[in-house]
Amino acid sequence: MTLPQARWWHPLVPAAALRLYDLGGQSYWTDEAITVQAALWPWSKLIAFWRVDPHPPLHYLLIRVLERLGGAGEGWLRLSSALAGIAAVALVCWMLYRQHGDRVAFVGGLLMALCPLHVWTSQELRAPALAGLFVAVAIYGLIRMEQTAGERGQWISGVGLLLAFYTHYYALLLVPLFLFASRPVRRVTAVALLGFAPWLVFLSSQLGAALGFRASTHLRRNVVETLLYANAGHFPWQWPTWANLLSGMLHHHFYAYVVLALVLVSPIFVLALFSGRDGWRFVRWYVAPTLLALLAGLCLPLFSPKYLAPFLPFLGAAAGIGYWRLRAQRRLWANSLLTAALLVPLISLVDHYANPVFRQTPWRDRLPALTANLTPRDRVVFYSATEAADARFYLDRRLVAFDLWPDYASAQDAVADELKTRLKELVDRRITHVVLVDLNGAAYRRTRELAVEQLNRTRPLIDDIELQPAMGVHWLVWGPPR
């Protein structure tokens, strides 16, 4: 593969295109909506929230400022994550260019630009993308400290570390690596940790709350997904089609699932292995936090593979170095591995953008039509749907009350009693409209039968209107009590 007149910044074009494309297309999902809502809270409520929410405060504060400047639009607020992701790729490309030249920066930057997990977190209104930028700044300062004796590198590294600590707790996974570096680096790390010390008051209470959580995914599945995320990844709402097929093998053929995951990500890892000593300086910034995060996941149910996105650019950087080292000896092998390492994320990206789930009508466009005739006296009821929780944010902003009912699919015996109690409350309050939302369809038929039965006992005049049945959104409307 020849790259005439390559430029280190060329990968920033696909990096920016992927991270900015359709940035505001989908409605906020639950965690994003919580971020937006928290930014609007008074300080007393926000501080109380920080005592239980397992995240540092800096990202919330940034969104608080942005929301006051430009509103709560999805595209506007997510732009902070997109720009942070693009800047992180640019900074790592610049480091590669300064140390290893134009060609290495081009290949490494291309691998970083196409990484599906990094694209995902750069389009999400959460902290990992911003934390990734600060991590890159800290490591850039560290490299400057190793190359020059000036104080500028110390300032850059120290500020980057401190901001990363206050943005995402996974940045603390870098501390062991910094503490095993030179004395100036250890001193900078100690100062950054000292600056983070005031937050320990909140961190201690957050840990107490976190211990009460239950991990939603088994750790061994997290291990496999961590491998897939390295260069295959997935996006919100649904796995890519091919990865979904693999995940179905987990319970009965776990080791086959591991082998297939290794095959998919082996090209980029093999290229990184050939990067030599210079490349391993980048690899460690991905491998060490990943291993430490998995070990921490044994104790705390807060591990998520997507939280490793801030460290992924360094794996791509090392693979860029390894490609040119291997190409000098085995051109065919190097080109084959690079082609495979680029094809895997490209297939994931194409699969994602062609996915009907990605193209479905967002909640913000669906709900106004469904709730156009509702008044503050009406009640919106969600049940048995993960996606339904994502819609609450948009209903809240329309000042429509709602209930969130449990997943009846997992508690069939309690359906009748629970539903009768809830519907009796609605009748007693003379509420005239109920929107039942169930996007997974698991318990809709049984619940609908019970709802109609109970409502007919109290209000004989019932009009059953179903809206968008393919989406699982159903509307029961009945007349006022006689």
pLDDT digits (tens, 9 = 90+) for 340-382: 999 989 888 887 777 655 666 676 666 666 556 555 555 555 5
pLDDT band at 230 (very low <50, low <70, confident <90, very high): confident
Q: What angle do CA 79, 83, 86 make, to 5 degrees?
A: 140
Torsion of CA 458, 464, 469, 472, to 10 degrees: -10
Q: How far apart are the first and last CA of the chain?
A: 80
**Does residue 1 sit within a domain?**
no
Q: Are residues 228 and 281 in the same domain?
A: yes
- What DSSP designation does 29 have? -
Residue 139's pLDDT is: 95
Q: What is the DSSP letter of 198?
A: G
According to the model, what pLDDT value does residue 95 have?
A: 94
Same domain, 284 and 368: no
pLDDT of residue 439: 40
Residue 317, token pair as written in the block = 């950087």
Least confident of 92-101, 209-218, 427-436: 427-436
Paired strand residues for 466: 474
Instruction: Please tell me whether residues 56 and 184 are part of one structural domain.
Output: yes
Q: Give yes or no: residues 319 and 344 share one domain.
A: yes
pLDDT of residue 477: 40
Q: Let me know whether 329 and 437 are in one domain.
A: no
Question: Among 117-121, 202-206, 397-401, where is mean pLDDT lowest?
Answer: 397-401
> 67 to each of 38, 56, 158, how far by Cα in Å?
11, 19, 28
Is the predicted pLDDT of residue 398 greater than 60, yes or no? no
Residue 435 · residue 381 · CB < 8 Å: yes
DSSP-H helix ranges across 115-199: 116-122, 128-147, 152-165, 175-179, 183-196
> What pairs with residue 433 in β-bridges?
477
How would residue 261 be classed by pLDDT, with cut points 50, 70 and 90?
Answer: confident
The secondary element (H helix, E strand) that includes residue 404 is: strand 401-405
Among 333, 358, 383, identify where a domain stops.
358
List the domain range (segments joined by +) for residue 123: 12-358
Query: Tell me, what CATH number does 464's domain have?
Result: 3.40.50
- pLDDT tens for 61-101 read 999 999 999 988 889 999 999 999 999 999 999 999 999 99
As for how many domains the chain has, the answer is 2
455 within 8 A of 462, measured Cβ to Cβ: yes
Check whether residue 351 and residue 383 sit in a common domain. no
Sheet of 401-405, strands arranged across: 401-405, 379-383, 433-437, 473-478, 462-466
The reply to whether 330 and 434 lie within a common domain is no
Residue 476, pLDDT score? 40
Q: Which residue has tokens 């895997």? A: 344
Q: Is residue 286 located within the same domain as residue 171?
A: yes
- Domain co-membership, 343 together with 401: no
Give percent above pLDDT 90 in the chain: 38
pTM of the model as a whole: 0.81
Q: Is 437 helix (H, G, I), strand (E, B) or coil?
A: strand
Contact 437, 447 (CB under 8 A): no
**456 has pLDDT over 70:** no
Q: Is residue 468's pLDDT more than 50?
A: no
Weakest-pLDDT range from 31-35, 259-263, 466-470: 466-470
| Nearest alpha-carbon partner for 478 in 428, 431, 420, 424 | 431
- 65 exposure class (CB count in 10 Å sphere: 0-12, 13-18, 19+): exposed
Same structural domain for residues 172 and 290? yes
> Which of 324, 358, 392 delimits the end of a domain?
358
The alpha carbons of the chain give a radius of gyration, in whole angstroms, of 25
